[in-house]
Structure 1
Amino acid sequence: MNPDDDLARALAFTPPTDPCVICWRDLDPTSTTEELERLADWVTWATTRYNLDHKVIPPCWSHHGAIVEELSALRTFWEACYQPDAAPSDPLAFHRDLTLALRRLRDWSSLLGCSRMNHRPEI
């Protein structure tokens, strides 16, 4: 994938009008693919916005259930924080929880052993 395309996609990202909680366990294969594509848009935006590298979110993140769950939860929280009825302190709450989530993502990514160029399937 071209880094310039990723940056353009990230800068063009606009949040949906309503936050959407996803229960990945209950999705059929088609819905899973659609939701992963929607989540990928947010992940591209977030990795660009927060300058996150492969040690936090590996390029193969969509192949790792725990990372998908964490990123999905973060996206839902982020979406909720920027709704018209959100409290003024909600973005601060997101950033507080983002710090904790980044630690978990870094830990999971380290345990997986995936690199910028290589994916290691979970056993």
Structure 2
Amino acid sequence: MDWLRHTYGLPAQVVPPMWHRHPELLWELSALRQHWLFCFDPQAKGNQALAWHHDFSQARERLRDWVTISGTRLDRDRPTRITSWPGGEAEDWTEPDTTERPVAGRTDDFLAFVAEQVAARRAEQDATIHDVISEEQQARDGR
């Protein structure tokens, strides 16, 4: 993100310091990165860099919208507010705490976020592997 913000001079209204704590920003930025990898691949056609810059212009407008909706700012952050629907939500859904907090220790927060994501993905992968092995064992035992 530092490369993107420094190269293009992006303000916090496009990429705020706590971007990593907002899934809507993560998805948009992830798609933009994947698009960049495709367009700047050594085997890409010569006009792909222009296509990326065209799409980047549109993505910046969407990012501005996401930042406005999320409520994250240069100096403060809060989880994106989610409107509860009348009639109730899913059983396991809980409304997020949308208390604003000052942005402090951004780098430490980002590193903690990445560590949390890696641990969660490893746990999910381990659970999937365990389920597959259990199913295979049950199939063998049932023969």
TM-score w.r.t. the length of structure 1 is: 0.63
The share of aligned pairs that are identical, in percent, is 38
Q: Give the aligned residue type for 1:45.
A: W
Larger RCO: 1 or 2 (CA < 8 Å, sep 6+):
1
After TM superposition, the structure 1 = structure 2 runs for residues 1-123 of structure 1, keeping only pairs within 5 Å, are: 43-123=1-81
Gaps of at least 5 residues in structure 1 are 1-42
Give the aligned CA root-mean-square deviation in angstroms.
0.9
Q: Work out the CA distance in 2 between the residues paired with 1:72 and 1:107.
A: 16
TM-score w.r.t. the length of structure 2 is: 0.55
CA deviation after TM superposition for structure 1 residue 56, in Å: 0.6
Give runs of ≥4 in structure 1 deviating > 2 Å.
none
Specify the structure having the higher radius of gyration (Cα). 2
- Count of equivalent residues: 81
Aligned to 2:124: none
Q: Work out the CA distance in 1 between the residues paired with 2:18 and 2:59.
A: 18
